[in-house]
Amino acid sequence: MTERRYAMTRSRAAGTPQRLSREEFCRRSGMHPELVGRFVALGLVQAVRADGELRFPPGQVAVVARIERLRQGLGLNYAAIGLVGDLLDRIQELEVRLREGSS
């Protein structure tokens, strides 16, 4: 008797990043499509155009959550959120370098 194996996920070409449709991204992030479009226009969220539609890397869902935390927790406007987000990313990068250097 031969053993059968079935793929549990859809296969895609190696190196091809998975992207979420706008609808799926809005569902996962809990955001209205117009607000997501505004975030993309402001450069707060990364997206690419594929076949005329916006596609989002799955990691951008966490970016939207951070935007909302900064907006609600600190009352920042979207321009300030972009600056604070960049600073937080830079701090994280420097902390990683520091940990790698002290190992």
76-92 confidence digits (pLDDT tens): 998 899 999 999 999 99
Three-state SS at 103: coil
Does the domain formed by 20-102 have CATH 1.10.1660.10? yes
7-53 confidence digits (pLDDT tens): 444 445 555 568 999 999 999 999 999 999 999 999 999 999 988 99
Could you state, in order of their start, the residue ranges of all structural domains in the chain? 20-102
Do residues 47 and 56 touch, judged by C-beta distance below 8 A? yes
